Amino acid sequence: MTVTKTNASRLRHLQGKRVFMEDFGCQMNKNDAELVVGRLGRAGWSRAERPEEADVVLYYTCAVREHAEERIYGRLGHLKRLKKERPDLVIGVMGCMAQNQKERIFERAPHVDLVVGTSRFEEIADFLADIEYQDRVVALDQGEVAYERDIHARPVRHQAYVTVMRGCDKFCTFCIVPFTQGRERSRTPEEIEKEVRALVDDGVQQVTLLGQRVNTYGLDLNRGETLATLLQRLESIPGLGRLQFITSHPTHIDETLMRVIRDHPVHSRYLHLPVQSGSDRMLRIMNRGHDVESYRRTMDMVRRIVPDMSLATDWIVGFPGETDEDFQASVRLQKDVGFQTSFVFKYSDRSGTKASRSMPDDVPQAVKEERNQILLAQQRAISEELHRGRVGTEHTILVEGRSKRDASKWFGRTSQNWIVVFSAERDFTGQFVRVRVTDATALTLFAELV
């Protein structure tokens, strides 16, 4: 199963083909999937809305949770019949699950033709050309990624994601990312600036910088670059309305970064800082590299410097060995910090991680579910109280489109990432408008145009 480089003439006969792409997992996957579709678009391909209409079906996969992997195997299972009817249909699995499971994918889904790891997606057109001459193509490893993108190929006109680094050096015991994405590699700030300027020139209002541990951006470049210097470099690009970044790790949030955010209105007031647990014992077992006290101090510092910062976090419930006492510490921390948003995950064993190798998944499913519900319920109460206190206040929102619940209304987001639903006579999608909050629930603010 070797992969050879192809040339333009080999690609020519692939022109006019149609690709169906579905992505799973994080924003970085979404962005990489867009890059793949954009790249194929440049080779003359168009996008199919359904697998049945496609010549090539690609899944951009996630290995972080078992649930996502099972959904992907479910999708692949459904394609078996289609592949039988149309043996020339090409089915490909890309991204983290491809990198992690490698040829095991062929064992569970022998009708798959293509397995492409996390850093080879830029070569997709080559691999699809290779498939014409080979039964299967497997392209793994963590070579450098070129990050060349088609600026115009993106599903939403007014916002775009820009990957600024890949990989993670942290090795949290539950996480597969360092194994599938490799060590931290930052792009140069010059290259990132060029991409952001091109996107803004093409109508993008909001840019989200992506990295698995985005707040360590630049450290591997060894030239004094940090996330703070990158934000400063980008903040004054004419036409850029909002700049944000995900996802951060608690150990590299410092005062300098917060002051940069405070000092320019383009920076989003939204900080997603996963804590995972409120118990020092669990944080140690998870190898998170911080304790509860330092996390609390960081949050206090953030609020002192940027008082209107909205805080979001992630929790894992039912991590191996988590006692009720450990869990109660999480409940306390959630209440004390008063997060606007919590993403709660029930622990599931991910093969390839340290936890999978050495820690039995010993918390019963029913206990995980109960803990999940407790954190979700407390979060709902905190969010609702915070949101109710915002009734009567005014905000600038970036309008994203029609409300998903009520098509007669519109919705957008504040700088703090709060969702705002409002009525308007005309379509303001992609524009900033000013609104006054009139009502609130835990998840949504309702507002009128000012």
Binding site for ligand SF4 (CB under 6 A): 168, 170-172, 175, 177-178, 212-213, 249
Q: Give the number of other Cβ atoms within 10 Å of residue 161's Cβ.
A: 21
* Nearer residue to ligand SF4 within complex by CB, 119 or 383: 119
Minimum CB separation from ligand SF4 for residue 180, in Å?
10
* Nearer residue to ligand SF4 within complex by CB, 112 or 172: 172
CB 307 within 8 A of CB 271: no
* Nearer residue to ligand SF4 within complex by CB, 26 or 160: 26
Cross-strand partners of 299: none
DSSP, residue by residue, 268-329: -SEEE---B-S-HHHHHHTT-S--HHHHHHHHHHHHHH-TT-EEEEEEEES-TT--HHHHHH
Minimum CB separation from ligand SF4 for residue 64, in Å?
8
Minimum CB separation from ligand SF4 for residue 116, in Å?
21
CB 200 within 8 A of CB 227: no
* Nearer residue to ligand SF4 within complex by CB, 159 or 215: 215
3-state secondary structure 386-435: HHHCCCCCEEEEEEEEECCCCCCCEEEECCCCCEEEECCCCCCCCCEEEE
φ and ψ of 272, to 5 deg: -100, 110
* Nearer residue to ligand SF4 within complex by CB, 249 or 267: 249
Minimum CB separation from ligand SF4 for residue 341, in Å?
18
* Nearer residue to ligand SF4 within complex by CB, 341 or 403: 341
Report the length, in residues, of the chain: 450
* Nearer residue to ligand SF4 within complex by CB, 149 or 249: 249
φ and ψ of 190, to 5 deg: -65, -45
CB 331 within 8 A of CB 359: no
Two tokens, residue 220 = 């591997």
CA dihedral 211, 213, 216, 221 (to 10 degrees): -50
* Nearer residue to ligand SF4 within complex by CB, 63 or 266: 63
Cross-strand partners of 346: 317
